[in-house]
């Protein structure tokens, strides 16, 4: 079947534009408009979306979550909701954020900067459920399977991602049934999804129907093949796990429709935005108005929670009319920083090269 082989991963030729296949993905999987960086909690309709296959139609009335370890049981949504409830703001970012800026461009969902958002997720902690179902020293991974089904690189499967058991037992991991105080929307995983704070988006399995504790490293597509930093298609590669630090700014002034170049008046401005890292708290956010030649420090807002992005602000007073290239970058307390020279990888993952916003001062 030609369609199956043609869905294998590809790198665009030099000068090749975004194709209609990529446009179709980009329309289904929208980014968060960067002006929404103003909100601490992203309104649900502005949060980015990434769905590999179709949004499955899940009937909550007949829905059962199957949980399997040393024992097994099934839960309906009333059972899930009757368990202890917690709520926390968590920033999600797609591991492919920044992919479209790689040269050459890996052909896939062509993200620029906006595959990020922060929601208030409510649900029940996962660890007690894993303890109830039971595991022992030989247990390795927890496999989360969604209700959605499709094909990628020619392999047919349900969306399934494993997390090492030690990480799945983390205090902050939850099974979420609410986003921003409302039941999950269909596109965000209704009725139930996993939320693993600090990890890239592929970990946050939507339409969760099955949790399985297994004794061998899970060899499914989304762990063994996808979401790995590779140079060549047959490399084993290193898995991407936690979110690398990044800062983004609210584009100042107003945009030109087609170029998105910003127009601002000369004089006093306050630049604002958000910064985050899944490895450690954000240590510093820096700004540049000359395309990264010189930098100054922004002021960080106090963190609202460990797992939500943090606000930052800085005055900026361009005195003379002209064109400026505003840039912003973050580093974290573990010493991770946004690179000046981003290294390339075959799947277009974790491109945290600094955001650059062209501004015309009049």
Ligand X SMILES: Nc1nc2c(c(=O)[nH]1)N[C@H]1C(S)=C(S)[C@@H](COP(=O)(O)O)O[C@H]1N2
> Quick one: 67 or 205, whose CB is closer to ligand X?
205
Minimal distance in Å, beta carbon 338 to ligand X? 20
Binding of ligand X by 205 (CB under 6 A): yes
Binding window for ligand X (CB under 6 A); candidates: 198-206, 263-271, 333-341, 342-350: 198-206
Residue 102 Cα distances to 14, 55, 105, 108, 248, angstroms: 11, 28, 5, 12, 18
Cα–Cα dist 50/26, whole Å: 9
Contact 249, 271 (CB under 8 A): yes
* Closest distance to ligand X from the beta carbon of 49 (Å): 4
Sole window of 50-58, 79-87, 212-220, 279-287 interacting with ligand X (rule: CB under 6 A): 50-58
Tell me the site size for ligand X, rule CB under 6 A: 18
Phi/psi of residue 61, nearest 5 degrees: -65, -35
Contact 316, 270 (CB under 8 A): yes
Partnered with residue 247 across adjacent β-strands are 275
| Residue 175 binds to Mo ion (criterion: CB under 5 A) | no
Rg over CA atoms, the chain: 21
Q: Considering the rule CB under 6 A, would residue 48 count as an interface residue with ligand X?
A: yes
What is the side-by-side strand order in the sheet with 246-249? 246-249, 269-276, 310-316, 299-300
Q: Report in angstroms how near the CB of residue 154 gets to ligand X at its nearest.
A: 17
Question: How far apart are CB 359 and ligand X at their closest, in Å?
Answer: 29
Residue 153's alpha-carbon distances to 4, 33, 219, 362, in angstroms, are 7, 30, 15, 50
Query: Does 241 interact with ligand X (rule: CB under 6 A)?
Result: no
Peptide bond into 191 cis (omega under 30): yes
**Which residue in 123, 146, 318, 348 binds ligand X (CB under 6 A)?**
146
Does the protein bind ligand X through residue 130 (CB under 6 A)? no
Distance of closest approach, residue 36 Cβ to ligand X, in angstroms: 13
Q: How is 290-317 classified by DSSP, letter by letter? A: BTTSS-EEPEEPPPS-TTS-EEEEEEE-
Residue nearest to ligand X (CB): 201
- Our CB check for ligand X shows the closer of 28 and 81 to be 28
Among the listed residues 80, 91, 92, 277, the single contact to ligand X using CB under 6 A: 92
Binding site for Mo ion (CB under 5 A): 50, 94, 201-202
Binding site for ligand X (CB under 6 A): 47-52, 92, 94, 146, 148, 159, 188, 201-202, 204-207
């Amino acid at each position: 079947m030609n369609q199956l082989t043609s869905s294998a991963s590809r790198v665009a030729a030099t000068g090749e534009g975004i194709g209609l296949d990529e446009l179709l993905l980009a329309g289904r999987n929208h980014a968060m408009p960067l002006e929404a960086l103003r909100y601490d909690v992203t309104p649900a309709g502005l949060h980015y979306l990434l769905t590999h296959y179709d949004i499955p139609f899940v009937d909550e009335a007949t829905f059962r979550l199957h949980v399997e370890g040393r024992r097994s049981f099934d839960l309906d949504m009333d059972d899930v909701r009757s368990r202890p409830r917690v709520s926390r703001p968590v920033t999600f970012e797609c591991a492919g954020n920044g992919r479209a800026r790689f040269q050459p461009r890996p052909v896939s969902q062509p993200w620029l900067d906006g595959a990020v958002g922060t929601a208030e997720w409510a649900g029940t902690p996962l660890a007690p459920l894993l303890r109830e179902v039971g595991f022992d020293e030989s247990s390795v991974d927890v496999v989360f399977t969604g209700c959605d089904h499709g094909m990628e690189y020619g392999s047919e499967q349900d969306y399934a991602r494993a997390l090492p058991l030690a990480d799945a037992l983390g205090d902050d991991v939850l099974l979420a049934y609410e986003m921003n105080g409302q039941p999950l929307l269909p596109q965000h995983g209704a009725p139930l999804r996993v939320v693993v704070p600090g990890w890239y988006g592929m970990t946050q399995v939507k339409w969760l129907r099955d949790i399985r504790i297994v004794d061998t490293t899970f060899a499914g597509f989304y762990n063994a093949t996808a979401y790995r930093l590779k140079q060549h298609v047959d490399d084993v590669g290193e898995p991407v796990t936690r979110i690398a630090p990044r800062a983004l700014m609210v584009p100042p002034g107003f945009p030109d429709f087609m170029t998105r170049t910003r127009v601002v008046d000369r004089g006093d401005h306050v630049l604002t935005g958000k910064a985050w890292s899944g490895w450690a708290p954000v240590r510093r956010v820096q700004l540049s108005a000359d395309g990264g030649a010189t930098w100054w420090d922004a002021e960080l807002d106090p963190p609202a929670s460990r797992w939500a992005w943090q606000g930052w602000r800085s005055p900026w007073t361009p005195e003379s009319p002209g064109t400026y290239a505003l840039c912003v970058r973050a580093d974290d307390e573990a010493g991770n920083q946004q690179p000046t020279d981003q290294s390339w990888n075959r799947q277009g993952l974790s491109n945290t090269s600094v955001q650059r916003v062209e501004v015309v001062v009049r």
